[in-house]
Chains A and B, each alone.
Chain A
């Protein structure tokens, strides 16, 4: 059953702690993306990766880091440098660049 998984669904962290959000896909897609959604906002691009071992900053990359060591996995680390990390985070993948994107179920991060 192909798709994208994100874990966990809900995540709570104390202020000042780094936290890593998981994103895995078994669709054999080359491109993967991380978005953030805040109330009243559209999806904003944090990072994207077109190929293994390569990634680019999106519009709001400050305070976040990523890695792409495997085609299937694109974890996102929310660092303590991110000023307002509480948000809903969505991961997506596509065959290539601006092709149809397939989304995971999302992770809601709350920083206390």
Chain B
């Protein structure tokens, strides 16, 4: 089992705050790093897939960076909104066949 660590475990911010989370993964045999958003009562939804060291992806107010040499990825949310409240999962693959998920960071954004 590959160890994928996410921090913090949970986060509570005010509307308008910017925030970021960390995902740490094994730095050897890297294939891909995924970020998913999982809202309550819904299915996990893909945000980003990153495959190259130095990759930066952006979707609206959410962006992600990747450092495969040191084994970490950051997810940033600029100007958090209540609708951003969700659990954010990262998943690592070293094989191209399956993903290993972290436990997630639970974000609560209050007005």
Contacts and interface: CB of A to CB of B under 8 A. Distances in A.
Interface of A: 4, 31, 33, 35, 40-45, 48, 50, 56, 58-59, 90, 92, 96-106
8 contacts: A31-B97, A42-B102, A58-B98, A97-B97, A97-B98, A98-B97, A103-B44, A103-B45
Given A42-B4, A42-B103, A43-B89, A97 B43 contact: no
Interface of B: 1, 4, 31-32, 34, 36, 42-46, 49, 89, 91, 93, 95-104
Given A97-B95, A98-B93, A43 B46 contact: no
B99 A45 contact: yes
Nearest to B31: A98
A43 B95 contact: no
Given A43-B101, A106-B43, A98 B4 contact: no
B20 to A, nearest CB: 19
Given A42-B101, A103-B44, A97 B96 contact: yes
Contacts of A42: 4, 89, 101-104
A44 to B, nearest CB: 8
A59 B101 contact: no
B43 A98 contact: no
Given A98-B32, A98-B93, A103 B43 contact: yes
Contact of B44 (A40, A90, A96, A97): A90
